[in-house]
């Protein structure tokens, strides 16, 4: 459990903005700005933040589906940003992704068998008969009948399609799977089924997850640790229990106060954030959160807060958190 599988250091992804016919550079959208964290083998790191905070961009950057602007990403001790294209293709067997939208993530012209055997075709694995068996066993494993292999995606419901998406990620037997809001597009009743499936698979195949979500309640029951992001930056990182019991960053507190409690009589203080998310092309000076922070002071407008270990293994970026 203590072995580090993924180490991300000062990861940046800036999308350049261009203006006019000569494509003059006009600044950049800082989608991911100075993210650093480690993920240990077998753990689940939850990543939470509102829409547009760069969490999906971060996930795709780790897989080099988007080339990061700078930073290092070490997977099992190897710097994957230094790999050549063909080395990276081989590395993709180890790290996979499940997408948010199960309707868009499957090729409508492929049967389920084609979709699931393609990973093995790409990496020249196994003979045909073995491939078919493998597809059938994985289908069975994610709770779908093996006979579904000959059908097309449009014949399935959203939950079933997401199971197929998960099966595709599992085909190459990866170590790390990035789950990019895998249940956000599903009905609540189906969500919990898929969450349970993900937990079972993690146990069985000793998988490491990076679980991206915009909803803290979804992340709570699957994550060991949770990273809270705001405007491309890290706001807080702590074990799941710590974070839910004792959130330090005012943004995390605001998020927590928005999690519904299934008890109509429960009363609690809601922290309502005013205003919109500032533009990541033109982030506020000082602490990026100060424009919406309910407890902001003068210092927040002038100086960006440091990333500090406030309590053992509980990090936050806020001036006003007492040491």
> What does the binding site for other proteins look like in residue numbers (CB under 8 A)?
60, 63, 65, 88-90, 92-93, 96-97, 99, 101, 104-109, 111, 113-114, 118-119, 121-123, 127-129, 131-132, 165, 168, 172
Q: Is residue 77 packed enough to be buried (19+ CB in 10 Å), middle (13-18) or exposed (0-12)?
A: exposed
Say if strands 44-48 and 225-230 run parallel, antiparallel, or are unpaired: parallel
Q: Is residue 264 packed enough to be buried (19+ CB in 10 Å), middle (13-18) or exposed (0-12)?
A: exposed
- Closer to other proteins at the Cβ: 124 or 267? 124
- Closer to other proteins at the Cβ: 117 or 291? 117
- Closer to other proteins at the Cβ: 66 or 296? 66
- Closer to other proteins at the Cβ: 124 or 265? 124
Question: What distance in Å separates the CA atoms of residue 198 and residue 192, rounded to the nearest whole number?
Answer: 10
- Closer to other proteins at the Cβ: 209 or 315? 209
Asked if 96 and 115 touch (Cβ cutoff 8 Å), the reply is no
Tokens 């499936």 -> residue: 197
- Closer to other proteins at the Cβ: 13 or 131? 131
Question: Considering the complex, what minimum distance in angstroms separates the CB of residue 89 from other proteins?
Answer: 4
Question: Considering the complex, what minimum distance in angstroms separates the CB of residue 285 from other proteins?
Answer: 33
**CA 24, 29, 34: angle at the middle one, nearest 5?**
130
Beta bridge partners of 9: 72
Question: Considering the complex, what minimum distance in angstroms separates the CB of residue 165 from other proteins?
Answer: 8
Question: What distance in Å separates the CA atoms of residue 61 and residue 41, rounded to the nearest whole number?
Answer: 20
Question: Considering the complex, what minimum distance in angstroms separates the CB of residue 30 from other proteins?
Answer: 22
Question: Considering the complex, what minimum distance in angstroms separates the CB of residue 317 from other proteins?
Answer: 30
Question: Considering the complex, what minimum distance in angstroms separates the CB of residue 97 from other proteins?
Answer: 5
- In whole angstroms, how far apart are CA 150 and each of 75, 130, 163, 176? 36, 16, 16, 28
């Amino acid at each position: 459990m203590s072995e580090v599988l993924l180490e991300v250091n000062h990861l940046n992804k800036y999308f350049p903005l261009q203006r006019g016919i000569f494509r003059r550079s006009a600044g950049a959208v800082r989608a991911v700005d100075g993210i650093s964290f480690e993920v240990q083998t077998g753990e689940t790191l939850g990543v939470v933040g509102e829409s547009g905070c760069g969490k999906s961009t971060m996930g795709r950057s780790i897989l080099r589906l988007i080339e990061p602007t700078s930073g290092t990403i070490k997977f099992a001790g190897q710097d994957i940003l230094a790999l050549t294209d063909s080395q990276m293709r081989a590395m993709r067997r180890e790290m996979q992704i499940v997408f948010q939208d199960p309707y868009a993530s499957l090729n409508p012209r492929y049967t389920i068998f084609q979709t699931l055997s393609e990973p093995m075709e790409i990496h020249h694995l196994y003979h045909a008969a073995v491939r078919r068996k493998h597809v059938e066993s994985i289908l069975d494993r994610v709770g779908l009948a093996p006979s579904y292999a000959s059908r097309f995606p449009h014949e399935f419901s959203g939950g079933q399609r997401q199971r197929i998406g998960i099966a595709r990620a599992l085909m190459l037997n990866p170590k790390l799977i990035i789950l990019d809001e895998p249940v956000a597009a599903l009905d609540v009743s189906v969500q919990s089924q898929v969450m349970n499936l993900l937990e079972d698979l993690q146990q069985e195949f000793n998988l490491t997850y990076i679980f991206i979500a915009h909803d803290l309640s979804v992340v709570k029951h699957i994550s060991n640790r949770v990273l809270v992001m705001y405007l491309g930056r890290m706001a807080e990182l702590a074990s799941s229990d710590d974070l839910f019991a004792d959130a330090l960053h005012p943004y995390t507190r605001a998020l927590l106060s928005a999690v519904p409690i299934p008890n109509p009589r429960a009363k609690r203080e809601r922290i309502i954030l005013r205003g919109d998310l500032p533009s990541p092309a033109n982030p506020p000076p000082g602490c990026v959160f100060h424009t919406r922070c309910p407890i902001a002071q003068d210092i927040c407008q002038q100086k960006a807060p440091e990333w500090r270990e406030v309590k053992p293994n509980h990090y936050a970026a806020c001036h006003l958190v007492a040491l």
